Amino acid sequence: MVAAGGSVSSRPQALDMPWLSSALHQALHTMQGHAILVSAPPGAGAFELSLAIAQGWLCHAPSEGRACGQCASCHWVASRSHPDLLCLLPEALQQSLGWRSEEETTGSEEKASKSKPSQEIKVDAVRAAVSFVQTTSSSGRSKVVLIHPAEAMNQVAANALLKTLEEPAGVARFVLSCTAPEALLPTVRSRCQVLPVALPTTEQAHRWLSDRGVSRPDVLLAATGGLPLAARDWADEGMTAALWEGLPQCVMRGDAGPLAAWPVPRWVDALQKLCHDGMCLAVHAPPRFFSAAVVPQGASLQKLSSWARELQRVAKYAEHPWGQPLAVAALLQQARQALQPA
Ligand SMILES: [Zn+2]
């Protein structure tokens, strides 16, 4: 989805996400420890903030503690080639975050045909990070290891990090991100200064999306459950407010229409949202993901509940390489039956 270098080089700092400014300021001005744990809800921009912190630490000419965006170091961060920055990401996130070279991408595409990209940060990668911080920094300044999300390390991987996290080599610093600090080993958590980050307010998120050319941002923001980065990514992929609002009609016609190419997991996610909102309407509560005007009215709560259970079951297997058209057709037929007025 993201062209090589596009994502990171156009967003080298967290400056274009105003809701992260105070956390960035806090990290670079008042947090003196060698390890920061960014604790943020999904979709709040934890990776972008972590990268901005790393960039601030590595910058050759920081101004008021913030990365200058101009020096060689800042350019290396932007082009993902900084010799003193190591970024540990699960394979499944590397490409979408623009953190992978062309050769690596080609190589792993061959691998991907055999197995799907891992969601874990493996112990080998952590061991490589431990060796990385033990070598001398190329500039004589800091060496930085960024780990996103830290909960992607399994217990073995996290344990391999502990000693280095506690007593890093002289100039090494760590920035970890997580969506739930309690999901991390307490021993990892206790070695970091926690930097809590909140989602932007609805108003901030609307303005941010509008500034990026997303029309009717309220619709896509609701569609993603209030996650501005996800809404931006959807818009970048061609999703529009009209397509989202037309989805329930597609379902009732039993025709995926312009959304036929959506992968099965995304259909399952959208149908779970539609089911959720159908249930809200059935108990006279406001819907969350769609506007009330487009959700089919009058379905029975009982049918919707069993549909919800069925979708939950399907969601567990939705990553499997199903025959796409057949799977979507089956999902739509099931949805239609559940949403018929009682
Ligand atoms: Zn700089």
Task: Read off the tokens for 341.
Answer: 């007025």
pLDDT band at 322 (very low <50, low <70, confident <90, very high): low
Ligand 1 centroid–CA 42 distance in Å is: 28
Select from 144, 174, 196 the last residue of a domain.
196
Alpha carbon of 101 to those of 86, 95, 203, 211: distances in Å?
14, 9, 36, 30
% of the chain at pLDDT higher than 90: 59
Ligand 1 centroid–CA 83 distance in Å is: 14
Ligand 1 centroid–CA 85 distance in Å is: 14
Question: Could you tell me if residue 80 is inside a domain?
Answer: yes
Rounded to an integer, the average pLDDT of 247-261 is 90
Distance, in Å, from the CA atom of 193 to the CA atom of 50, rounded to the nearest integer, reads: 13
Ligand 1 centroid–CA 61 distance in Å is: 5
Ligand 1 centroid–CA 68 distance in Å is: 4
Same domain, 251 and 104: no
Same domain, 187 and 48: yes
Select from 168, 196, 224 the last residue of a domain.
196
* CATH number where 128 lies: 3.40.50.300
Rounded to an integer, the average pLDDT of 126-140 is 85
Same domain, 177 and 266: no
Select from 196, 221, 255 the last residue of a domain.
196
Question: Could you tell me if residue 296 is inside a domain?
Answer: yes
Question: Could you tell me if residue 72 is inside a domain?
Answer: yes
Same domain, 19 and 165: yes
Q: Say what the pLDDT of residue 207 is.
A: 95
User: The domain containing residue 273 runs over which residues?
Assistant: 240-339
Question: Could you tell me if residue 102 is inside a domain?
Answer: yes
Ligand 1 centroid–CA 34 distance in Å is: 20
pTM: 0.79
Question: Could you tell me if residue 210 is inside a domain?
Answer: no
Question: Could you tell me if residue 282 is inside a domain?
Answer: yes
Rounded to an integer, the average pLDDT of 255-277 is 91
- Coil, strand or helix at 341: strand
Tell me the three-class secondary structure of 266-325, residue by residue: HHHHHHHHHHHHHHHHHCCCCCCCCCHHHCCCCECHHHHHHHHHHHHHHHHHCCCCCCHH
User: How long, in residues, is the chain?
Assistant: 342
Mean pLDDT for the chain overall: 86
pLDDT band at 148 (very low <50, low <70, confident <90, very high): very high
Question: Could you tell me if residue 201 is inside a domain?
Answer: no
Same domain, 39 and 187: yes
Ligand 1 centroid–CA 50 distance in Å is: 16
Ligand 1 centroid–CA 63 distance in Å is: 8
Rounded to an integer, the average pLDDT of 116-144 is 87
User: Which candidate, 87, 304, 57, 282, places its Cα nearest to that of 171?
Assistant: 57
Same domain, 28 and 151: yes
Ligand 1 centroid–CA 148 distance in Å is: 22
Rounded to an integer, the average pLDDT of 178-197 is 91
Question: Could you tell me if residue 95 is inside a domain?
Answer: yes
Rounded to an integer, the average pLDDT of 136-163 is 89
Same domain, 101 and 185: yes
Ligand 1 centroid–CA 233 distance in Å is: 27
Rounded to an integer, the average pLDDT of 136-156 is 87
Q: b vs e for 266-293, b when ≥16 Cβ sit within 10 Å of the residue's Cβ?
A: bbbbbbbbbbbbbbbbbeeeebebbbee
Ligand 1 centroid–CA 334 distance in Å is: 55
Greater confidence (258 vs 286) lies with: 286
Same domain, 192 and 294: no
Ligand 1 centroid–CA 144 distance in Å is: 15
Structurally, the chain folds into a number of domains equal to 2
- Coil, strand or helix at 250: helix
- Coil, strand or helix at 67: coil
Ligand 1 centroid–CA 88 distance in Å is: 22
**Is pLDDT of 303 > 80?**
yes
pLDDT band at 12 (very low <50, low <70, confident <90, very high): very low
Alpha carbon of 168 to those of 11, 26, 286, 303: distances in Å?
29, 22, 51, 57
Question: What are 173-182's pLDDT values in tens digits?
Answer: 999 999 888 8
Ligand 1 centroid–CA 60 distance in Å is: 5
Ligand 1 centroid–CA 77 distance in Å is: 9
Q: Say what the pLDDT of residue 308 is.
A: 96
* Long-range pairs, 218-223, Cβ under 8 A, ≥24: 219/244, 219/245, 219/291, 220/244, 222/288, 222/289, 222/290, 222/291, 223/273, 223/289, 223/290
Ligand 1 centroid–CA 125 distance in Å is: 27
What protein residues have CB closer than 5 angstroms to ion ligand 1?
59, 67-68, 71, 74
Ligand 1 centroid–CA 228 distance in Å is: 27
**Is pLDDT of 13 > 90?**
no
Distance, in Å, from the CA atom of 133 to the CA atom of 38, rounded to the nearest integer, reads: 20
Residue 152 contacts residue 181 (beta carbons within 8 Å): no
**Is pLDDT of 11 > 70?**
no
Same domain, 322 and 190: no
Same domain, 27 and 166: yes
**What is the residue type of 238?**
G
Q: Other CB atoms closer than 10 Å to residue 183's CB: what's the count?
A: 11
Distance, in Å, from the CA atom of 248 to the CA atom of 256, rounded to the nearest integer, reads: 10
Question: What are 105-128's pLDDT values in tens digits?
Answer: 444 444 444 567 888 999 999 999
pLDDT band at 26 (very low <50, low <70, confident <90, very high): very high
Residue 137 contacts residue 103 (beta carbons within 8 Å): no
Same domain, 307 and 172: no
Same domain, 61 and 162: yes
**Is pLDDT of 58 > 80?**
yes
Rounded to an integer, the average pLDDT of 216-238 is 93
